[in-house]
């Protein structure tokens, strides 16, 4: 895929960006979302993306959606968000303002604002049906991230810093401008006659990142060294993830309903592979600890549990299944409803229907094919009208009137959230 423009003085142009996006696809036909703060970086991303989407290249999305987060931490933030929406409209990009009402002054405001921002962005993407979210992080952002992680004592995984593509459970985070210097992005806007918002917190030296930015901005050698370390760490991480994918493909068989049959004893899996499987089956946000993994592997044959996952022996194999007691409570079965952070409903079953765990429900007298054993099926998603079972899509059971319902996994990749460092 195209690298960054040849020199720091050369701003990215539409032709370069089109080549860049071609290498970061494929792009779905639905909307591609953009996180737009109103600053120069994100507005330049919006302008370049609109030029690409409106062009003639194959595989472009049908629609763009700018997502503007108003943190409401400064009195002028609402006006700035509205101004940014008008600027997006002027270049032909639809937008939506996401207002955060629960942030207030206090400790760790930057970390809290970031977490709230991404929560709002991810929710808006799901609501809009977008599976790609473009972010405007650039070359200096990457160098700052590496420097901060070095200070914090991060190892190789952390020093890889931000990936060009990072796959989340149901969303790709894509950073097309990661190799571009920020001054080039401002030149893009000046050439297009577009203004932008300057956030004073970006220059507030009370924040660690702002201090680092000031020190790095005029030190190209330091930036280059930091980016070289990130590239080396990213390459090593991709090699490790490729080896992990090979191991998982050889050693386990995942099912559509979220259980995994192991072809080898858990103790023979690498810690990375067992950790990936526990996170997937249990919908965990964080990897389990090393000691806990070792204990789980040693006691798997006896039905050990870890991270909402239970080991079950069935038909001569060890299975990893979602622990029924750890499943989320049933949710109202609206189209797009997510249950247990693992499954999303497709279809509209009507009022009074819930989506939850199948549990100990015995199979109906007439089924399309035999059901798995109770220990394997207890956490499979099922739909009920009150106490009456009306559909178990994964097992092919539907009462009349419910056959158009479907349940899909939330994660794109059933084994690991991969990332790409160019």
> Residue ranges for the binding site for ATP?
37-42
Residues 19 and 2: beta-carbon distance below 8 Å: yes
3-state secondary structure of 256: coil
Residues 181 and 252: beta-carbon distance below 8 Å: no
Residues 341 and 126: beta-carbon distance below 8 Å: no
- Of 369, 401, 364, 408, the closest CA to residue 385 belongs to 401
Q: Which residues are annotated as a binding site?
A: 37-42
Instruction: Centre a 10 Å sphere on the Cβ of residue 389 and count the other Cβ atoms it contains.
Output: 17
- Of 319, 304, 143, 151, the closest CA to residue 231 belongs to 143
Peptide bond just before 26 cis, omega within 30 deg: yes
Instruction: Centre a 10 Å sphere on the Cβ of residue 195 and count the other Cβ atoms it contains.
Output: 12
Residue 22 has phi, psi (to 5 degrees) of -60, -35
Residues 169 and 411: beta-carbon distance below 8 Å: yes
- Of 379, 405, 377, the closest CA to residue 391 belongs to 405
């Amino acid at each position: 895929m195209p690298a960054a423009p040849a020199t720091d003085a050369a701003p990215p142009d539409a032709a370069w960006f089109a080549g860049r996006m071609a290498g970061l696809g494929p792009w779905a036909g639905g909307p591609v979302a953009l996180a737009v703060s109103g600053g120069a970086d994100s507005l330049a991303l919006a302008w370049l993306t609109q030029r690409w989407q409106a062009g003639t290249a194959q595989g472009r999305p049908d629609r763009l959606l700018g997502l503007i987060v108003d943190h409401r931490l400064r009195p002028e933030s609402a006006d700035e968000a509205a101004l940014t929406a008008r600027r997006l409209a002027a270049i032909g990009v639809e937008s939506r303002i996401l207002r955060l009402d629960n942030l207030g002054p206090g400790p760790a405001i930057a970390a809290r604002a970031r977490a709230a921002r991404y929560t709002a962005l991810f929710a808006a993407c799901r609501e809009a049906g977008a599976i790609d979210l473009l972010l405007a992080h650039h070359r200096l952002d990457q160098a700052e991230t590496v420097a901060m992680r070095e200070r914090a004592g991060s190892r190789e995984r952390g020093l890889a810093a931000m990936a060009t593509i990072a796959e989340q459970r149901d969303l790709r985070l894509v950073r097309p401008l990661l190799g571009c210097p920020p001054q080039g992005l401002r030149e893009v806007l000046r050439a297009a006659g577009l203004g932008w918002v300057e956030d004073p917190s970006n220059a507030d030296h009370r924040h660690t990142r702002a201090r680092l930015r000031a020190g790095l901005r005029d030190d190209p050698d330091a930036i280059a060294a930091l980016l070289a370390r990130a590239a080396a760490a990213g390459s090593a991480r991709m090699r490790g993830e490729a080896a992990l994918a090979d191991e998982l493909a050889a050693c386990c068989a995942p099912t559509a309903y979220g259980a995994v049959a192991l072809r080898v004893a858990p103790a023979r899996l690498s810690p990375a592979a067992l950790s990936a499987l526990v996170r997937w089956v249990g919908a965990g946000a964080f990897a389990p600890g090393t000691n806990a993994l070792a204990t789980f592997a040693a006691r798997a044959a006896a039905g050990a549990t870890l991270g909402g996952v239970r080991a079950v022996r069935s038909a001569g194999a060890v299975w990893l299944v979602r622990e029924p007691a750890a499943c989320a409570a049933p949710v109202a079965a609206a189209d797009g409803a997510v249950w247990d952070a693992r499954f999303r409903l497709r279809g509209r079953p009507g009022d009074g229907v819930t989506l939850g765990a199948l549990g100990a429900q015995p199979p109906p007298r007439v089924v399309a094919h035999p059901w798995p054993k109770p220990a394997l099926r207890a956490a499979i998603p099922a739909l009920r009208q009150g106490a009456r079972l009306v559909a178990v899509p994964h097992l092919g059971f539907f009462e009349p009137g419910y056959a158009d319902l479907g349940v899909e996994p939330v994660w794109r990749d059933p084994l690991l959230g991969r990332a790409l460092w160019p």
